[in-house]
Structure 1
Amino acid sequence: MKIESYLKAAPWLSLAGVLFAGYLTGIKLFGGACAFNESCPTLWGLPSCAYGFVIFSLLFLVSLYANLKKVRTGWPIKINLALSGFGILFAGWFAVPEIISILSGGPFYTLGLPTCVYGLVFYILIFVVTTVAWNGHRKSEVSPVVLP
């Protein structure tokens, strides 16, 4: 994948995460209850979706900046790779116990799965697309070997 193609797709993928996590965070912070009648896992007194909102926002801002400034170097890909990788670890930390709970006959979720799992899917999708872009970018930077 060329960097131009990546920078067209990345803001949209991360914006979907911003909107999703932003909705969940807004419902919790301003409504006092979790969206979709779910339990709200917290970290340091804040709902986990608030941290997801920050991570998705950073992904979006990096992608948008690189797109608007027509950046054609690898730094936005590297940053988004690190952020989405961190997002996978973060969302996975909260999603895995909830998945285990479901498999052992736990609660029913309005959306079928806990919202943390959907956040995890967003991060995985962004990570995969970013990895493909990184591999394509690295291949385009390699100079051809000239044999005598």
Structure 2
Amino acid sequence: MLDKDGFSEIYEYKNRYWVIQKSHQMWPKGGGPTERVALAGDLPCDCSDTEMGSLCISALDNFNSIKPPFSPWQTKELRQLFCSWVGAKGWASFYKNSRYIWIKYDKTTRYINVIPVDNCRISPVESAIEEKIESISWEAGTGKIGQAIFAAFRHSTSHPERKT
């Protein structure tokens, strides 16, 4: 059972899904912005709903369990670490060639918000596609959570400079 709020990100890059574990920047106190701290796991693009939902729940369950390895202003180091997880040569290339979604779990409501992200195609800055956010009870099961994640990816956008 998820007993705390949680955040995660899932990226589609090079025919794989990359599920990222996050922690608060002000670790371990919590509150404020979050930081990417670990690769929770990766899955092929043809993975099942249940596999995706299970990995997402694991990342949320482990939210704020690892201290961020760098300070928030050390963006170069943070991006290099992230790129090492997903096998990207550099941040700019990764950013332009990925799609992603944000995941937020609210322990009070016990719902997971699956948020598709516009990667600068609709708006000049990355932003949530609010009208396509899906809220799903974590009790719905891993298969239903995975379905919501795949639905969000159908709405998330690629960067306008993405290479095909």
TM range (shorter): under 0.3
| Greater share of residues in helix | 1
Select the structure of larger CA radius of gyration. 1
| Greater share of residues in strand | 2
Which TM-score applies when normalising by structure 1?
Answer: 0.25
